[in-house]
């Protein structure tokens, strides 16, 4: 009986993994093809520094309120939890996590540099109208983040 329960649990886990959602189909190439423009360092600084923004994780559906101070420190508060399906999503667990805690933030040329002292990520922001998407250097051109300025709605 115990063996049947273990086999059933293993089968259930395999089914969940095979049904896991795929990563967002939004890529850097698609953004460029759709006329999104790379934001300059000045645009990024003006838009982000000293302001509250909403950061949406497109894969996990988690939403964060983030404030980036002019001294390079950040505050991040989760306002919507990740989708429970992420527990079995291989793509979610395989990608690099968001930097938590005392992550430092700076802008250099047209890149955002974020570091927690151990890991450092370089991100580029692409904008078309009010839509802004972030592409991290470690995500193989997959677009996993959206930035919302002003309207702090956590709807997609």
Is position 27 within any domain? yes
Is position 156 within any domain? no
Tens-binned pLDDT, residue by residue, of the chain (156 aa): 776 676 555 655 554 443 334 445 899 999 999 999 999 999 999 988 888 999 999 988 999 998 888 888 888 899 999 888 888 887 777 777 777 666 788 898 899 998 888 889 999 999 999 899 999 998 889 999 999 986 544 444
Is position 104 within any domain? yes
Is position 19 within any domain? yes
Q: How many domains does the chain have?
A: 1
pTM of the model: 0.76
Would you list the DSSP string of 13-28? HHHHHHTPPPPPS-BH
Cα–Cα distance measured from residue 105 to residue 102, given in angstroms and rounded to the nearest whole number? 10
Cα–Cα distance measured from residue 117 to residue 106, given in angstroms and rounded to the nearest whole number? 13
Is position 155 within any domain? no
Of 109, 131, 137, 139, which is closest to residue 44 (Cα–Cα)? 109
Domain encompassing residue 122: 2-149
Is position 47 within any domain? yes
């Amino acid at each position: 009986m115990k063996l049947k329960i273990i086999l059933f649990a293993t089968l259930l886990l395999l089914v969940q993994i095979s049904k896991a959602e795929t990563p967002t189909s939004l890529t850097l190439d698609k953004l460029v093809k759709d006329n999104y423009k790379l934001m300059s360092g000045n645009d990024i600084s003006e838009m982000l520094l000293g302001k509250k923004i909403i950061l949406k994780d497109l894969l996990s559906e988690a939403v964060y309120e983030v404030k980036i101070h002019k001294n390079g420190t950040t505050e991040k508060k989760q306002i919507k939890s990740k989708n429970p399906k992420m527990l079995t999503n291989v793509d979610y667990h395989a990608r690099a996590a968001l930097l938590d805690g005392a992550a430092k933030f700076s802008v250099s040329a047209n890149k955002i540099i974020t570091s927690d002292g151990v890991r450092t990520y370089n991100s580029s922001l692409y904008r078309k109208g009010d839509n802004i998407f972030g592409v991290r250097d470690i995500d193989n051109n997959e677009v996993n983040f959206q930035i919302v300025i002003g309207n702090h709605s956590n709807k997609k």
